[in-house]
Structure 1
């Protein structure tokens, strides 16, 4: 049982790290001249970065920023809830609070990545063609990981 709990803790920390990287790092969209994330655009030939202009992206970028931040918050609170429930729950009970928060984190990151995918043509219409960056891919991987860990928490019972 301790090995399983250790695996779950490591899996949860790895998922939180993926969410932090996907939210903060500047690699949602890559071209030969620049890389863009949900916060700013950095040009390779300059040392500075330009903030995203909300007016040109519309409310979609605000929704993406908000839901990615929510996913990180839900994931961190879920980890704290899991640790608290680990010591407070009676034998045989399930980790419903931690699982629910992790599923909310999964839903939030899925919404953010889905909005970004559907609005990608509008976001990058003024840039030369490019490809999705690794932060975008990490966001989708984090979605899968948070979904899996949320289901694991729902199924997991506290045993001796």
Structure 2
């Protein structure tokens, strides 16, 4: 495989690899390192890539595994899952403050979710993967992915309802 063929093959999903790594590792620098590491691993396996059903699924699986290995080796408790890609630049100041507060609560609630539910929520709601792709990446069946996503959404919805009602229902 020529270099330009390899680049054309990985370019469509390279940003998704970075976003998943950023979601898992938080640090931009660590996410860039993870992305580079995955791209190097893909390069070393380039002769077998054309045979794969989905190179993207393989790359996302490699990213997930690499990041989880990094997290396990750095379990100091200072790494957390956050989503920092959301900024509403058109809203007024009051709306921006409310949005920021809500986003902080969503991030807090997401941190309380089990790791698998956090990843599934990220892949489905942020990265827009379909259930089959998520199942392949996380090595689960689609039904389990749907159940975990449903539970994550339900927990998120319940907690956000409590927050917006200031804990009084």
What TM-score results when the alignment is normalised by the length of structure 1?
0.30
Q: Which has the higher helix share?
A: 2
Q: Which has the higher contact order (CA 8 A, sep 6+)?
A: 1
**What's the TM-score once normalised by structure 2's chain length?**
0.29
Between Structure 1 and Structure 2, the one with more strand by share is: 1
